Each structure stands twice: as structure tokens, then as C-alpha cells.
Amino acid sequence: MASKIGKILVVDDNLGIRRALEILLPVHFAEVKTIPSPATLVSSLEQFRPDVVLLDMNFNTSINTGNEGLYWAGEIKKMVPDVEVVLFTAYADIALAVEGMKRGAFDFLVKPWENDKLIEVLTAARDKARKSMGRDARSGSGMTGNRSGIADANVIPGLTGNPMFWGTSQPMAAIRKTLDKIAPTDATVLITGENGTGKDVLAKEIHAHSLRSEKPMVAVDAGAITETLFESELFGHVKGAFTDAQTDHTGKFEQADGGTLFLDEIGNIPLHLQAKLLRAIQNRSIVRVGGTEARPINIRLICATNMDLEALVRQGRFREDLYYRINTVHIALPALRERQEDIVPLAELFLQRFAEKYHRPLTGIAPEAAELLKTQRWSGNIRELQNSIEKAVILSEGTVLTAKDLDFSTALRSGRNDNSGSGQKDNAVIPSLHPVIPSEVEESKVREAMERAGGNISAAAKLLGVSRPTLYAKLKKYDI
């Protein structure tokens, strides 16, 4: 196994978070140091010399504006410009994230975090920092492959991470047959399915089996880009295009040139911005914000959404011409409950992975635990199953995962697939937000989910069956 590279400094006043990161981060990075406040930040920068600072934005429990984090992010970049700053906050304020980026932050993460996303962002920040410092991002010696300072957090050179688990179900067998046919072509693909079904993993699989696999795959969460940053993020901008545009910026289309552009959550793009996206796809060229030169682009486009785009088209909320442009080949991923025979094999795969990661002596799943897994509805699909197995592995004490290790007692679980009528209303998943429901009904569902989840955004998003960026937008819309 390759040696671990990089030094991460965590600044967070929450002891539980520091303890969790002290366990997680050393698995992926060479050195990790945690401090509870910025009081010793300057000396830690001098003595520890980190590549990345993971910086909490609030250290005063009575003040949650994020101003402390913004101030210290700016100070860090002044003192050590090559060190990358990743902002860490429990308050999902997109405007705050934008302000942090303006002050030089590399990226922005929301608590509670997803481990894979956290590691992905910190790894990309580490790589960028080490390139800036004149070191190879992976080996620590000799700068190589500098791509004009572009942060590659979402760039996947071929298939990375964990490949698609196909299982034995008929729906997945049909999808695999389709993939074999379309992967070598440049056909535009639309992937649909509920949250957690693996749309992003399927997109990577298509790219990995394409003729563009040696070129980058650039992933964009369209639902997380604010309207003001949409054109700049996708098409780039030139120096002086707007305040704080101090250098030219290469957009995602250009970053993906020669490879694949993956637009996730495409149903969340506002109508007036869809026209600009359509124009770029049709013309196969982009114009950077503030520029005049049309730049040709050569990409393969893959899009994904958990929304009913046809319904949005009928409502006038999604352009019909854009819908047909992105829908050359449509692949609908089944929900996990529709591929029952794959639940236990998937759980065993996750068990093996997390047992190795957390150094647990687990060798299998007990029969009663396997039966319990099959009784769950899994409204969060594969992602929910993965998180459940990870938690069970961490808390387990024996060599076999038991039913006792699987905690399905909380209100965040989806309940059993039975008709017992036991009145377990609190365990039921709130019906997903749908484009056709009235605003007042939608607001009520969002408020109910947030109340039942105790204000936990990730948990509320799972209850509603939507992504966190989608829920953020709803919270802002209804001033919740």
C-alpha cells in the first residue's frame, strides 16, 4: 500500500468532532494535529507546518455568524499562502461559503459530514498545497503535473474508488448490458433514480469503460452551485470579469475537455440558466464570463437526477429542448428494495471494507442480522445501507456482525417492510418532495422533517428523500 502523504491541522472546539477526526484522518494522511481554538493557531502553523487546515467557523457558542472562521481563513492565507483552508461548519449557508472562497478557502464542508466526501476534499486540498510548495502531491518529491493551479477535487482520471456492484438482480443485469453497448460511444446519458442508488458510481463506470477513460471525468453537483456562480463554475471567467476575479479561471467544461463532464442534480438548475447550459451543449463551445472568445470543447456529457424531468417539462420548469438534448440514452437505477437479492451481498462487501478500514476482526454477518437487513425498506438505498454497516462495524465487539450491532431503533430509519400496523409513525419516512406539490404542503413537509430530525440536515434530507443541497435550498426558500 502506498505511504500516506500530507499533514492536516484541525481547528474545532467540539471535542467529539476532534476525537472522531483523530481516528478517521490518520488512516488517509501521514500526520494529523487537532486544536480546540485559534488561540494556538499561529504557533501550530509555524511548528506543525500543515498542508491543509480544516477550520471550524464558529468558536463562540453564542455567535453563529461564521465571522471567526472567515477572519482566520483570511489570516492563514496571508501568513502561509500555500497552505489550503477547508471551512467546516454546521450552518449550511451558501452565501457564507462563497464569501469563504473569496477569501481564499479551497472548499467548504457542512457538518455532519460524509466520510468519503471529507477525505476527497482534504486529499484534493493536500495535493494542491503540495504542488504549490514544489512537492509532488503523492510522493512528496519533485513537482509534476501542475495543471495551472486548478483544484482537482472533482476530477476522476478513469475509474477510482469502489467500482459498481452489479449483483444478481434482473434490473441491474439489464443496465450492465446497456452499459456495454453505450460506454464506447459518445452518446449523452441521463441517469435517474432515488437518492443513494449509485448514480454517480454508474457515471464513473461509464467513463471508465469509454474511449475517454484516460482523460479526466469532472463531476459537478449542479444543485449546490449558486446562481451567481453558475456561469463562472461551468464556463470559467477572465481576470477582472467581476470583483475578486483576480486571475483567469478555467470552468468545468474546459477542465473536462477530451473527457467526461458529469452534471449531477441537473433538475435543480433554474430555468433561466438552463438556456445557457443548452447553448454550450449545442454549440460545443463556451465563452468565459467577461470574455469574448468562443472556446471549443470536446466532452462526453452524463447527467443525473432524482427528479421526474418529464413532469418538470410539463410544468414549464425544465426546458423541453434541454431534456431531449441530455436524454439520448436513459438509464433508471432501481431502488435497493427492488433488488432484494443484492442487499446481503452488498452488506458483506461493506463489512469487509470497513472491517479493514477500522481494524475490526469481523469475518461475516450472522443469519439473524442478514434477515434483519432484508426487512428494512432502505429509503436511503445503498448509501443508507453503507452508513448502517459502517456504524455497526465501528460499534461491534465480536467477530461476526449480529442483529444487536444493527441499530434500527431511531426515527431516522425507514421502518420494516410489513403491515403490522404497530403505529410506528415516527419511524416512517416522510414522502419525498415532488415538483407538483403546492408550496404550503412542501413547507409543511420540510418543517416536519427538520423537527423529527432534531435539526440534523443530513437526517432530514434522508427523511424527505432529497439531497442535502436540495434541502438547503428549501430551508432558505421557506426561511426555516
Contacting residues for 155 by C-beta, under 8 A, at least 6 apart: 216, 217, 218, 255
Cite the residue boundaries of each domain of the chain with CATH code 1.10.8.60.
336-426
Q: Using one digit for the tens of pLDDT, what is the confidence trace for 202-249?
A: 999 999 999 999 899 999 888 778 777 888 888 988 888 777 777 888
Q: Using one digit for the tens of pLDDT, what is the confidence trace for 371-420?
A: 999 989 898 899 899 988 988 888 888 899 999 888 775 434 443 343 33
Q: How far apart are CA 108 and CA 66, in angstroms?
A: 12
What is the CATH architecture of 7-132? 3-Layer(aba) Sandwich (3.40)
Q: Which fold has domain 430-477?
A: Arc Repressor Mutant, subunit A (1.10.10)
pLDDT for residue 472: 75
* Cell numbers standing for residue 345: 451481498
Residue 454 has pLDDT above 90, yes or no: no
Please report which confidence band the pLDDT of residue 39 belongs to, taking 50, 70 and 90 as the band edges.
confident
Contacting residues for 421 by C-beta, under 8 A, at least 6 apart: none
Cite the residue boundaries of each domain of the chain with CATH code 3.40.50.300.
166-332
The segment with the largest mean pLDDT, out of 85-94, 104-113, 393-402, is: 393-402
Cite the residue boundaries of each domain of the chain with CATH code 1.10.10.60.
430-477
Which of 177, 222, 181, 233 has the alpha carbon at shortest distance from 200? Answer: 222
Residue 94 has pLDDT above 90, yes or no: no
CA quadruple 235, 108, 263, 435: dihedral sign: negative
pLDDT for residue 441: 66
Which of 178, 191, 175, 187 has the alpha carbon at shortest distance from 211? Answer: 187
* Cell numbers standing for residue 262: 458529469
CA quadruple 202, 204, 207, 213: dihedral sign: negative
Q: How far apart are CA 350 and CA 333, in angstroms?
A: 20
Q: How far apart are CA 39 and CA 36, in angstroms?
A: 8
DSSP 113: P
Alpha carbon of residue 429 to chain centroid: 22
**Inter-axis angle of helices 170-182 and 199-208, nearest 10:** 40
What is the CATH architecture of 166-332? 3-Layer(aba) Sandwich (3.40)
Q: Using one digit for the tens of pLDDT, what is the confidence trace for 43-85?
A: 888 888 999 999 988 775 444 455 777 888 888 988 888 899 9
pLDDT for residue 181: 92
Question: Which whole number is the average pLDDT over 181-201?
Answer: 93
What is the CATH architecture of 336-426? Orthogonal Bundle (1.10)
Q: Using one digit for the tens of pLDDT, what is the confidence trace for 329-373?
A: 999 999 999 999 999 999 999 998 888 888 888 889 999 999 999
Percent of the chain with pLDDT over 90: 40
Please report which confidence band the pLDDT of residue 144 belongs to, taking 50, 70 and 90 as the band edges.
very low
Q: Using one digit for the tens of pLDDT, what is the confidence trace for 118-138?
A: 999 999 999 989 887 765 444
pLDDT for residue 101: 73
Which of 442, 451, 454 has the alpha carbon at shortest distance from 478? Answer: 442
Which of 117, 97, 119, 110 has the alpha carbon at shortest distance from 233? Answer: 97
Please report which confidence band the pLDDT of residue 439 belongs to, taking 50, 70 and 90 as the band edges.
low
Please report which confidence band the pLDDT of residue 174 belongs to, taking 50, 70 and 90 as the band edges.
very high
